[in-house]
Amino acid sequence: MNDAMFTRNVAISAWKPRTFDDDTQSVRVVAVTENPVRIWDWERKAFLNEILLINGASLPDSGRIPLLDSHNRASITGVLGSARNFQKKDNTLEAEVAFSETESGQNAAVNVRDGHLTDFSVGYYPLEAVYLEPGETREIEGRTFEGPLKITTRWQLRELSVTAIGADRAATARSVDGGNGDGVNDGGDSAGGGDRSPLAADSSEAPAAAAAIGPEDARQGQRSAAGPAASSSGKKSSSLVDMLFYAVTAFMVLAFLRGLF
């Protein structure tokens, strides 16, 4: 598998989440669902729909991951708190988000509490995946999937970010009573309940794909649909600079030759 870290956005309720606890400065959220999300896949070098199987998620030994500001992994100032107490329920992964007492952490907490910031995005390393071609069907974990589709069966959760825009609209803030009300969209609940067992931390070190983020990952930046566009924009800027350089150089050479003759 490619050793690049991926990200995917999810959204909590656009209204004030009733699970926000003012005393602990924490909120219960659905971090990710098994809904397909359009991503840029660096292994296939193409856009495709991806499903993250919740049963395939693993955590660091600490059982918690940092809460970041828009995937800012370059500095500790981007840390807004942490995500912990993960639980699987139905086909979703829930987490408790706790904001730090720093100024940036409290600013984010207020915006989430008041419904101004509604979206979260997970950062993860895909460790094992199955690719289904168009029209191809396969049964995985008792469920039938149809291509074109990427099914990531094993992945390591590395960080959760507060972001401005989300993609998976089915992931929502949890209400206290597990029901809908007061404008809260509780997309994660169902009448049948579900698997509420905590997600166990990965007791073994993940393979090379889950290594600490290195310079290469920092250079390539966020693994999302914006990746190819950003790369294309960079190439256009570089070409423009080269053209300007050659034009100025040619002008200076002509001016020099005119001075000689």
Question: Stretch 102-117: mean pLDDT, rounded?
Answer: 93
Taking CA atoms, 23 is separated from 26, 99, 126, in Å, by: 8, 11, 36
Can you tell me the mean pLDDT for 36-41? 89
Phi/psi-derived region of residue 156, left when phi > 0, alpha when psi is between -120 and 50, beta in every other case = beta
Predicted model pTM: 0.63
What single letter denotes the amino acid at residue 234?
A: G
pLDDT at 90 (0 to 100): 79
Per-residue pLDDT for 122 more than 60? yes
Cβ atoms within 10 Å of 162's Cβ, excluding its own: 24
Per residue in 199-240, pLDDT (tens digit) is: 555 544 433 333 333 333 433 333 333 333 334 444 444 556
Domain residue limits, the chain: 6-222, 225-261
Over residues 3-31, the pLDDT tens digits come to 666 666 554 443 467 788 899 999 998 88
Question: E-strand spans in the chain?
Answer: 6-11, 26-33, 37-41, 46-52, 57-58, 65-69, 79-89, 92-99, 119-132, 137-140, 143-146, 149-163
